[in-house]
Amino acid sequence: MAVYLLAHDLGTSGNKASLFTEEGALVKSMTCSYGLDVKNGNWAEQNADDWWQAVCDSTKALLEEINPADVAGVSFSGQMMGALCVDSEGNPLRPAIIWADMRATEFISELREKIDDLTYYKLTGHRMSASYSAAKLAWVKRYEPEIYAKTDKVLNAKDYIIFRLTGNLLTEPSDASSTCLLDIGKLTWSDTLADLYGLSMDKLPELRRSIDIGGYVTRAAAEATGLKEGTPVICGGGDGVCAAVGSGIVREGSANCCLGTSSWISFAAKEPLIDPAMTTFNFAHMVPGYVLPTGTMQQGGGALSWAVKTLFKDVPYDKNEIYRRVNEEVKASPVGAKGLIFHPYLIGERSPRWNDKAKGSFIGLTLEHDRGDMLRAVMEGVALNFSVILDAFRNNGADIGELILMGGGARNPAWQQILADVLALKVRIPTVLEEATSMGAAIAAGVGSGVFKDFDVIDRFLTIAAEVEPNKNLSSAYADSRARFDSTYFALEPLFNQQ
């Protein structure tokens, strides 16, 4: 009998449903889109029932070709740092406030009157920010007190879908660690943090492990989705954490680099990495007993996309042909791009600068530079920014010997080599670059349902297509680029605050 695992990835623009075999093969995937309501300058909300409809429609479509009884388990990856208020029956009381919403900035200055930044960082694993769930729920309490009073639990996206499938209100550590209400060292809800925000602990859902069965598909959910009643529903994890699992980051010290629109480096560790400079942050891992120290930059692959769109504006659009030319032109440019430095801070920056006023810049542009030099400088700038993040990890005890490279940007051979040389690390390239998040959720479904013994099964799902070794001589040469990358940023920093 065939055995299948169903993974749902609830993103910002839609839900991607993916069906995998127990051998790790992707059978089929499809995405159902939903809307995003952006208003008042920095508000971002979604209708939770749109999430549910997308899950229902995509599940039905995938099950058309198989027997639903052959689905061993369903699990999830989901957007993190949200706040969906539901009543005791699980009904949404207002639209979900999602990760991109920054309305709660006033609470951060109030928080600093009660606790210093480093103490807070050590407790939560994160810097103070309005982007996390705690500040959003505090906003609801202050400005929508009638909603707060009726709120039984506050959920993230995948938690709501688990409720719709099973009738159970719960969450798991990875999503919980994105609320800033979880003690990152103990992986338990924190009375101290709830008190700091003036929130009631009883509004926080029950904590289960990511691999625990959160419940079973109810009759009503079976009718809505096409799943068999009684199918196990496994808790799963937040999207960034699922991506780590799907790229093989399931053992201590293993690390990945994702070159999506936003980009990050993360690695598996048994203890949170506490950087005194608070450059990086920590999520709970899906793998029990582990955490996931992470450094996320706002624009990695997005910076290259911007550069390509701008510099090839008059070229007829053919994605494959344009990126072939990008690769050739970058390779034709010398290491260091003839002294040209690029800062990839096109929409401010998270790691490593944590400056929402930072701007992108080319430094050292001359008549000698051409398009290839500018493209190379963009790739090198992203890599140099990663090197600052990597240094923060290493300076605080992390031992990272190689990286698994994921995301759309990982397709570019020139960028692969630049990353290896700048970071002085072996870079490993999987055959499948953009399915890591869904793969991570599918593996959680397999472990939780008993199909797999543990997360080591990732070796069945993940195949390495190529390995890129660093050129030691070039790694040394990039040390000079890194010094200029840092010094020019700090020279420009006072100007950003004036704009």
CA distances from 246 to 20, 256, 459 (A): 13, 10, 10
The residue from 215, 235, 255 where one domain ends is: 235
**Token digits of residue 330:** 């970058």
Pairing verdict, β 188-189 and 182-183:
antiparallel
For residues 225 and 256, membership in a common domain is answered with: no
Handedness of CA 472, 476, 478, 479 (dihedral sign): positive
For residues 211 and 280, membership in a common domain is answered with: no
For residues 286 and 419, membership in a common domain is answered with: yes
For residues 216 and 257, membership in a common domain is answered with: no
The span from the CA of 107 to the CA of 476, in Å, is 45
The SS3 call for residue 263 is strand
What is the predicted pLDDT for the residue at 65? Answer: 85
Handedness of CA 184, 407, 263, 389 (dihedral sign): positive
Q: What is the C-alpha end-to-end distance of the chain, expressed in Å?
A: 64
Contact at 8 Å (CB) between 278 and 312?
A: no
In 448-489, DSSP assigns E strands to 464-468
Contact at 8 Å (CB) between 454 and 288?
A: no
For residues 279 and 158, membership in a common domain is answered with: no
Within-domain flag for 392: yes
What is the predicted pLDDT for the residue at 435? Answer: 87
Label residues 7-31 b or e (16+ Cβ within 10 Å = b): bbbbbeebbbbbbbebebebeebee
Within-domain flag for 241: no
Identify the domain containing residue 207 by its residue range: 4-235
* Closest by CA position to 266, among listed 278, 281, 251, 256: 256
Angle between helices 157-166 and 48-62 (to 10 degrees): 60
Question: What are the φ/ψ torsions at residue 284 (nearest 5 degrees)?
Answer: -70, 145
Within-domain flag for 458: yes
For residues 207 and 299, membership in a common domain is answered with: no
HEC states along 391-440? HHHHHCCCCCCEEEEECHHHHCHHHHHHHHHHHCCEEEEECCCCCHHHHH
**Residue 306 falls in which region: left (phi positive, over 0), alpha (psi -120 to 50) or beta:** alpha
Domain with residue 156: its CATH number is 3.30.420.40
List the beta bridge partners of residue 342. 362
Residue 142 DSSP class: H
The span from the CA of 424 to the CA of 440, in Å, is 27
Q: Is the peptide bond before 352 cis (omega within 30 degrees of 0)?
A: yes
58's enclosing H/E stretch is helix 48-62
For residues 404 and 348, membership in a common domain is answered with: yes
Within-domain flag for 175: yes
Amino acid code (one letter) for 118: L
For residues 340 and 270, membership in a common domain is answered with: yes
What is the predicted pLDDT for the residue at 341? Answer: 98
Amino acid code (one letter) for 81: M
Tally of structural domains, the chain: 2
The span from the CA of 277 to the CA of 483, in Å, is 19
Within-domain flag for 242: no
Within-domain flag for 311: yes
The residue from 182, 208, 235 where one domain ends is: 235
Within-domain flag for 298: yes
Within-domain flag for 354: yes
For residues 346 and 389, membership in a common domain is answered with: yes
Q: Give the CA count within 13 Å in the CB-facing half-sphere of 497.
A: 6
For residues 283 and 200, membership in a common domain is answered with: no
The SS3 call for residue 326 is helix
For residues 321 and 209, membership in a common domain is answered with: no
Contact at 8 Å (CB) between 124 and 193?
A: yes
For residues 368 and 441, membership in a common domain is answered with: yes
pLDDT (tens, 9 = 90+) of the chain, 499 residues, equals: 789 999 999 999 999 999 999 999 999 999 999 999 999 999 999 999 999 999 999 999 999 989 999 999 999 999 999 999 999 999 999 999 999 999 999 999 999 999 999 999 999 999 999 999 999 999 999 999 999 999 999 999 999 999 999 999 999 999 999 999 999 999 999 999 999 999 999 999 999 999 999 999 999 999 999 999 999 999 999 999 999 999 999 999 999 999 999 999 999 999 999 999 999 999 999 999 999 999 999 999 999 999 999 999 988 888 899 999 999 999 999 999 999 999 999 999 999 999 989 999 999 999 999 999 999 999 999 999 999 999 999 999 999 999 999 999 999 999 999 999 999 999 999 998 888 999 999 999 999 999 999 999 999 999 999 999 999 999 989 999 999 999 999 999 999 988 7
304's enclosing H/E stretch is helix 301-311
User: What DSSP assignment string belongs to 175-186?
Assistant: HHTTTT-EETTT
The residue from 182, 204, 235 where one domain ends is: 235
Pairing verdict, β 84-86 and 153-155:
antiparallel
The span from the CA of 334 to the CA of 359, in Å, is 25
The span from the CA of 480 to the CA of 175, in Å, is 40
Beta carbons within 8 Å of 186's beta carbon, 6+ residues apart: none
